[in-house]
Amino acid sequence: MKKVTIDVVTEDPATQEWALYLVEDGPWEANQLEGRLRSLQERIYQAVDVALDGHLANKYPGSRGKKVRIQVDFYDEPPRKVAMVVRAIAEFIRKSPEYRKDIKSSEYIRAIRIVSTLASR
């Protein structure tokens, strides 16, 4: 598996989810936007793979069979297109028959969702 950077992993008792945080700092330069979007997309899909393939459960045994949240935290307001990409990926994962089947049959996770937030410093 290719190395993925997940900045923080925590258990969130309020939502009963294991949260995988992906921190994205700005600034979001227009001439670098497409490359940053590809990189972010890759990170999100790699985080999904970490949960589905059991790497999360192996490192954090308490997460086995639990719900997982992949949370992209932005510390500088990203362009609208960035939030749209995160929402599109979340929607694709949620509706894809292949991902739905993989999640339903997974012994490692019960559910997965992807969200983004504008975090404060």
Regarding pTM above 0.85, the answer is yes
Cα separation values, 70 from 39, 60, 63, 91, Å: 15, 15, 13, 13
In the chain, the amino acid numbered 8 is V
As given in the structure block, the two tokens for residue 89 are 């990926």
Cα–Cα distance for residue pair 23/53, rounded to 1 Å? 22
Q: What is the pLDDT along the chain (121 residues), one digit of tens a residue?
A: 567 889 999 999 999 999 999 999 878 888 999 999 999 999 999 999 999 999 999 999 999 999 999 999 998 888 889 999 999 999 999 999 999 999 999 999 999 999 999 876 5
